């Protein structure tokens, strides 16, 4: 199993997926706080507002971190879901795909390394982004509360893992990685509508993608929502592992 995990890691590296994800998360971690901190200057310089008084609240460390979480919950999430889901797409024309679709009897040995890398890549990518954003924010606001940042990043990592593993399960059953992204977009749109029209927003798993409430008050973590996310992850893993190896399309 260790060799298979190492092989899967090399595949991520050779396809430049690891580099792209780490760069993307680090990029948002650096630029998001900077853009918020200098927003007034940017608007005055590039917005054609010379001589106009721009009324904006002064930024604080929470606003800078919120900007990072917001950007990652959109662009970063979609790239992460697609890259991970694509590794679960079993191509029949490949030697590995041909073997598992014609000879092999157990798919656990195939999916376990991929699941391990899905967890590892998601957590490390977000860690790279959070560390970058925290450092930049600390430069501007040394009074940043690291405990709140840690709580928020853990909550967001759980939400990212939920969508990544769910999207991977969609790909395993459909063999189409883009459907993982489509399903993620649909879930986010539906979640946004429900949050707007209903008072149950705090119970929705996707509400953890942008953990602003946790950033403002670490004790605001809804354990029921966390439990729902864990349940979705477990069910998605089960769906991946129980999929028949040979399915006619």
Task: Report the alpha-carbon distance of residue 40 to residue 47 in Å, rounded.
Answer: 10
Which tens digit of pLDDT belongs to each residue from 227-244?
999 999 999 999 998 876
pTM as predicted: 0.87
Q: What is the pLDDT of residues 128-159, one digit of tens each?
A: 999 999 999 999 999 999 989 998 999 999 99
State the burial class of residue 84 (Cβ atoms within 10 Å of its Cβ: 0-12, 13-18, 19+). Answer: buried
Is pLDDT of 97 > 70? no
CA–CA gap between residue 225 and residue 200 (Å, rounded): 11
What pLDDT is recorded for position 249? Answer: 42
Residue 53 has pLDDT above 80, yes or no: no
Q: Is the pLDDT of residue 219 over 70?
A: no
Q: What is the mean pLDDT of the chain?
A: 83
Encoded tokens for 188: 């986010």
Looking at per-residue pLDDT, the higher value among 54 and 129 belongs to 129
pLDDT given at position 210:
81
């Amino acid at each position: 199993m260790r060799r298979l995990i190492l092989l899967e890691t090399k595949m991520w590296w050779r396809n430049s997926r690891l580099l792209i994800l780490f760069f993307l998360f680090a990029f948002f971690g650096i630029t998001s706080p900077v853009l918020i901190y200098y927003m007034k200057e940017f608007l005055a310089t590039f917005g054609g507002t010379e001589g106009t008084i721009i009324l904006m609240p002064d930024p604080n460390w929470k606003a800078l971190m919120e900007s990072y979480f917001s950007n990652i919950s959109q662009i970063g999430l979609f790239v992460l879901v697609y890259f991970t889901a694509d590794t679960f797409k079993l191509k029949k024309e490949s030697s590995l795909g041909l073997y598992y679709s014609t000879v092999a009897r157990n798919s656990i040995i195939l999916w376990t390394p991929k699941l391990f890398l899905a967890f590892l890549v998601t957590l490390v990518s977000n860690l790279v982004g959070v560390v970058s954003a925290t450092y930049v924010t600390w430069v501007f606001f040394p009074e940043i509360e690291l405990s709140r940042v840690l709580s928020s990043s853990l909550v967001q990592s759980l939400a990212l893992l939920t969508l990544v593993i769910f999207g991977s399960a969609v790909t395993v059953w459909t063999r189409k990685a883009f459907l993982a992204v489509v399903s993620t977009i649909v879930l986010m749109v539906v979640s946004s509508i429900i949050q707007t029209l209903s008072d149950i927003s705090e119970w929705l798993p996707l509400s953890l993608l942008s953990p602003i409430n946790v950033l403002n008050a670490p004790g605001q973590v809804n354990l029921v929502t966390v439990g729902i996310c864990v349940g979705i992850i477990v069910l998605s893993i089960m769906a991946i592992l129980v999929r028949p190896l040979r399915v006619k399309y």
